[in-house]
Amino acid sequence: MSKNFYKDGKWIDNPNEVVVVVCECGNKYIKTREEQTACLRCFVKRKHE
């Protein structure tokens, strides 16, 4: 499903879909990278361990 938004006096159709994924901890996050597998909070925890 695409989103429409208003810019510079014209309606623009945005063909990009936003992918919302649920992390193991239960938080939802927007997947912005292909290799991303966890929400930002869990990603930082794993990196510091």
Integer Cα distance of 43 and 38 in angstroms: 6
Residue 29, pLDDT above cutoff 80 = yes
User: What pLDDT, on the 0 to 100 scale, is given for residue 1?
Assistant: 47
pTM of the model: 0.52
In a domain, 2, yes or no: no
Helix, strand, coil share of the chain (percent; to 5): 20, 35, 50
In a domain, 6, yes or no: no
In a domain, 12, yes or no: no
Range of the domain at 40: 18-49
Identify the weakest region by mean pLDDT among 1-5, 16-20, 25-29, 42-46.
1-5
In a domain, 4, yes or no: no
In a domain, 31, yes or no: yes
Q: How many Cβ atoms are within 10 Å of 42's Cβ, its own excluded? A: 15
In the chain, pLDDT over 90 holds for what percent of residues? 10
In a domain, 7, yes or no: no
pLDDT category of residue 43 using cuts at 50, 70 and 90: confident
In a domain, 13, yes or no: no
* Number of domain units in the chain: 1
